[in-house]
Structure 1
Amino acid sequence: MKSLLVRFFLFSLVIAACSIAVTAWLASQATTGAIRQEQGDALRGDAEIYDRLLGIAARHRTWAEAKSEVDGLAREYGRRLALTDRGGKTLLDTGTAGSPPLPITPKVSIDALNVDSVLKPGATSKIDPRAVGPFRLTDEEFAKMRTVADRLLNCTQGKFEIVESPNRRLRVSTMPPGTESAWPECPSGEELYTVTHTESVAYEDLYNLFNGCMARLPGLYAVKPLNGRPVPLDWEVLTVRYSDPPVVECMESARREQLRPFVAEYAHLFITEPTGGQPQAIDLSTTGTNRIILVALGILALAGFASWVTATQLVRPIRALTAATKRTAEGDRTARVDGGAGEIGELAKSFNAMSEKLAETERQRQAMVSDVAHELRTPLGNITGWLEATQDGLAEPDPHLIDMLLEESLLLQRLVDDLHDLAQADAGTLRLHPEPIALDDVVDQVVNAQQNREILLRSETTPVHLSADPVRLRQALGNLVANAVRYTPPGGEVVVKLFQWQDRAILEVVDTGTGIAPEDVPHVFDRFWRADKSRSRRTGGSGLGLAITRHLVEAHGGAVSVTSRLGEGSTFRISLPLA
């Protein structure tokens, strides 16, 4: 299980299997939901039929009077509707003569004065609000109220709408009683909130029945009639809604007694198909289970094949990268990988860049070994040759010979010291001993030590103080000054400048020497690089001085740079932080 190809393939198979399982589960849930929704729609249809029949019962005294409406309702919903009394006698049936017998159990009972709270949730009363009975306004009262409402709406520019209550009483919506003064120029709408003669008679009868019930309850008092006061928008008697339960029950009992002669009688409702049978139950067949399994297995096989192809394409560049890494570890610096696009491509590019960097480092190492051998060969050859000549008696060990040998030895010592400094810098073990110093004193020391009769060497300084290693700074600045003096022809000038810029100390070594070619400027601080390719000892040193200067300056947290124009001179700049 260590192979990436196998792991990716198995992981893809697991994902595909889970996807298929989840898809099947979601399809099952969606199908179940659709079935439940269809069943819910059927139940909602039955609830709507129940509500419509309640309204019909509330508006008619007998079911015989409502036959045409019930027939229309049956046609609208495509159902057979049958109503029977408590004894099973048929009151109304929309079926034909050839319809089969009704089921034994009715669907629900229809009673406008005792509404089923399950089918009518949220109802404030068990009495259907459409059962108005003696409260229904006469045509004359309705016409008068319509005229008043239309005039008021026209005057208020139609900002309200007419609402008609079940007993035909009109109200102007969003205009509570007493707000008519907002339109003083409009006719008064007081008639819309005044109890009519029909309502007054009905209320008086209702409250007589109510008071009769209340009189039978000890310790309770009767509620007086409304006496012409405005009635609620839904015209129902709400004055006792939030009273004690016995009071509310008395009002409900009084209303039922008053409305009973005006509504259709209690009836059992049967809802069936037009042919008479019960609606067929919805069932989810399981005959296609094998087919579903076969399709799922086919999808899984297809997903497995696609996963294997994808995994192979993913692993191929990784394997190539692994092979190239092994070749690089064995010393081959020419290994390269073509990873294409994406993350693997970015990894391949990074590897190629690393390989090129290793190759460049190897070339630099080989060049450095060659340069070191070259630098050591000349002084060692001179020392060996003169010592052999002295041993053979061909040369006398006079002071001149000894001075020459000492100079060659010192050259070797400087080369070894430079190489040691570079090795410490590369290893990060180059130690500094910082202390508070005056940088202008360091400049004066370097300038005095590098004085030359053939060129003008001077300084332009301002007092600058910082914490640094004075020995290493003199070494770094001395390398720059010595390099400038070496490449400045007789009669030229070298100026060492010191000044402060923002929070940094700036040292500049400006010469009027031969300058550096633009293509050589990036290599100035490389090891063993010299502008004079002949590497003549007369025109140049070991080629390590500027590389050492860069490491010493960077160890102080600074930076060194150069600008030059060929034939006009160069400017080397050291920037050091004051803090």
Structure 2
Amino acid sequence: MDLVRIRPRWGLFARLLTASMLVAVCAVAATTWLAVTGTSRAIRTQQGQSLRDDTRVYDTLIEYAATHTDWGGVQDLVVDLAERTGRAVTVTTAARTRIAGSEPHVRLPYRPTALLDPLRLDPVLSDAGPIDPRAVGPFLLPARDREKLRVTADRIASCLRGRGVAADVTTLPSGRPAIRPSLADGSVTCAAHLLWKPVPLERLPLAQVNELATDCMKRRGREGVKVNVDFSWSLMGKGPEDSDRAAQECVTEARREQLGSYVSPPVLLFVGDRDGPDTSGFHLSTENVTRIAGAAVLVLAVAAAVTTLVGRRLVRPLRSLIRAAEHPADETVRVPVTTRDEIGRLAAAFNDLTDRRERLEQQRKSLVGDVAHELRTPLTNMRSWLEAGQDGLTPVDGDLLALLLEEAVLLQHIIDDLRDLAAADARTLVLHREPLYVRDLLEQVVSAHRGTADPAGVELRIETAERLEADADRMRLRQMVSNLVCNAIRHTPGGGRVVLRARREGGDLVAEVADSGAGIDPADLGSVFDRFWRADKSRSRQTGGSGLGLAIVRKLAEAHGGSVSVESKPGAGSVFTVRLPQ
């Protein structure tokens, strides 16, 4: 019976996701409604702390810190910023000691708006880089140097414009002119590099930056770095992959160390509403709190209802599976397949497993019956002869012993065959592969069966190359061929023949045993390799054998990774083929 395949539709995951999305939509809708109708005033209050005003206050005070060595004269600037922005501005030390403020009495919030440090800019409020460009320190040029560099910059810009390159001269906070945009094309011909040649005043501080940056690099186990007057840099040697990052960090730290005495020390900035100490959060009224609580209860109720509905629909088929699984093992129970999702597929798989277990149980009962029948026959014969001898009905002589030995040998043969099949079923059959000559093995099989074939008038013949080699378990390969030859001799009448052939076909060893016997009915070909199957339906043992030989051949071939097949026509004989990969 084939496994029932159910095409998934609206799987368990999709249903759970849909339910979760429904709950989320309800929650978002409720939150949006509350935000619009219940907290409008609180939102307007918080929006009053605009990022633009905070940025303007921050940038102005950073400029002051970059151009002053202390905060002694910042009070007037703080008051002016407060008037222009309508915000309460307070500057304190790290210990929250007041330095300057626009309001005489204001309670500071827990978290400051920003840290005022021109050497460590806040990336949220400024995009100028790690160090404020207005912190120039010893690189501030006097008027004479500015004028000389300005003349050079104007000449280079005129040259670039004459070559079709847009160029404008701007002045940096240090007083040094620069050309914007900065282009590499035309720089050499217009001698743009002269603009960045250090003037005498810049050489000493530039050398200090180079020394500090190089020391930092060496502490990290890397080569030195050369810093230019525009604070660009280049590595002095080849280093690890992260050398560029290390160089940038060292140059930045060197500049901070050099500029530390030229700028104001770091302080805390607090910007807030002039009407209160802290407007960073909502201050809801009792009415708004009640509305929020009611909406939350509503959302929870909807979520609980949806979850309960979906959960019951999901649990119902699972409970059916549990009840079916709890039935006694000797009862066959199937569950209805009501959905096409993962649970439906599980139910179908459960039913398929039940069908397979039922078939295996039937096979087990049939196998037990066959084994009992096969063992009963020799045991019954032995008991009958022994009782006859005991009662004096049959003389206890050599003939009786010979009969008993024959039945014992048959019984041992059945037991050995069952043991081999059990080992193959349990995958504990151990193979000892070795190189061998196939013809030598076939000759051994023929010699072993001469005693059976010659009295029966059956000719045994070998057709194979002399030096055909194979890699297989010698004993098991001989057992396979021997079982096939024994089967062929039993079913071949006197005057017939059994031919053993072997050859290489692709990468496989192909061994064939062909007979000129009565053949097999086409309806029985599918059962030839089943255990205890015989063409003789009466089980009279007229043809002998335990009914396990061909089943053992199939198991041994599969253990080698190969297969066995049969071709037969009634009255034209049979050909059994073993194919083993090499």
**TM score, norm. by length of structure 1:** 0.52
The alpha-carbon distance between structure 1 residues 304 and 396, as it changes in their structure 2 partners (threshold 3 A), is same
Structure 1 letter corresponding to 2:422: A
Contact 1:333/1:356 (<8 A) preserved: no
Shift of 1:244: 12
% of aligned pairs identical? 47
Q: Which residue of 2 aligns with 1:270?
A: none
Q: Which residue of 2 aligns with 1:193?
A: none
Q: Structure 1: how far apart are the matches of 2:288 and 2:173?
A: 62
Q: Which residue of 1 aligns with 2:543?
A: 539
The alpha-carbon distance between structure 1 residues 471 and 289, as it changes in their structure 2 partners (threshold 3 A), is same
Q: Which residue of 1 aligns with 2:65?
A: none
Contact 2:434/2:472 (<8 A) preserved: yes
Q: Which residue of 1 aligns with 2:385?
A: 386
Contact 1:516/1:564 (<8 A) preserved: yes
Instruction: Decide which moves more: 528-537 or 558-567.
Output: 558-567
Shift of 1:519: 3.7
Q: Structure 2: how far apart are the matches of 1:471 and 1:320?
A: 53
Shift of 1:25: 4.0
Matches within 5 A, 1:556-567: 556-567=560-571
Q: Which residue of 2 aligns with 1:304?
A: 304
Structure 1 letter corresponding to 2:461: R
Q: Which residue of 2 aligns with 1:118?
A: none
The alpha-carbon distance between structure 1 residues 298 and 520, as it changes in their structure 2 partners (threshold 3 A), is farther
Structure 2 letter corresponding to 1:461: T
Contact 1:528/1:543 (<8 A) preserved: yes
Q: Which residue of 2 aligns with 1:459?
A: 462
2:557 is the counterpart of 1:553: yes
Shift of 1:507: 0.6
Partner-residue secondary structure (3-state), 1:394? coil
The alpha-carbon distance between structure 1 residues 517 and 345, as it changes in their structure 2 partners (threshold 3 A), is farther
Contact 2:503/2:509 (<8 A) preserved: yes
Shift of 1:26: 5.2
The alpha-carbon distance between structure 1 residues 568 and 338, as it changes in their structure 2 partners (threshold 3 A), is farther
2:348 is the counterpart of 1:331: no
Instruction: Decide which moves more: 383-392 or 344-353.
Output: 344-353
Partner-residue secondary structure (3-state), 1:322? helix
The alpha-carbon distance between structure 1 residues 106 and 311, as it changes in their structure 2 partners (threshold 3 A), is closer
Shift of 1:311: 1.2
Matches within 5 A, 1:311-390: 311-327=311-327, 330-340=328-338, 341-390=340-389
Matches within 5 A, 1:392-471: 392-451=391-450, 452-453=453-454, 454-462=457-465, 463-471=467-475
492, 496, 511: which one aligns with 2:496? 492
Q: Structure 2: how far apart are the matches of 1:430 and 1:244?
A: 88
Shift of 1:563: 2.9
Shift of 1:434: 3.0
Partner-residue secondary structure (3-state), 2:326? helix
Shift of 1:505: 0.7
Q: Which residue of 2 aligns with 1:148?
A: none
499, 505, 508: which one aligns with 1:501? 505
Structure 1 letter corresponding to 2:459: L
Q: Structure 1: how far apart are the matches of 2:514 and 2:398?
A: 39
Structure 1 letter corresponding to 2:333: A
- For structure 2, the residue ranges without an aligned partner over 5 or more in a row are 1-14, 49-82, 86-143, 152-160, 162-166, 178-282
Q: Structure 1: how far apart are the matches of 2:482 and 2:352?
A: 37
Shift of 1:512: 3.1
Shift of 1:537: 0.7
Alignment root-mean-square deviation, CA: 4.8
From the CA coordinates, give the structure whose radius of gyration is larger: 1
The alpha-carbon distance between structure 1 residues 458 and 243, as it changes in their structure 2 partners (threshold 3 A), is closer
The higher relative CO (CA closer than 8 Å, separation ≥ 6) is in: 2
Shift of 1:415: 0.9
Structure 1 letter corresponding to 2:439: D
The alpha-carbon distance between structure 1 residues 576 and 291, as it changes in their structure 2 partners (threshold 3 A), is same
Shift of 1:293: 5.5
The alpha-carbon distance between structure 1 residues 309 and 25, as it changes in their structure 2 partners (threshold 3 A), is closer
Structure 2 letter corresponding to 1:306: V
Q: Structure 2: how far apart are the matches of 1:307 and 1:315?
A: 12
Shift of 1:343: 0.8
2:517 is the counterpart of 1:513: yes
Structure 2 letter corresponding to 1:456: E
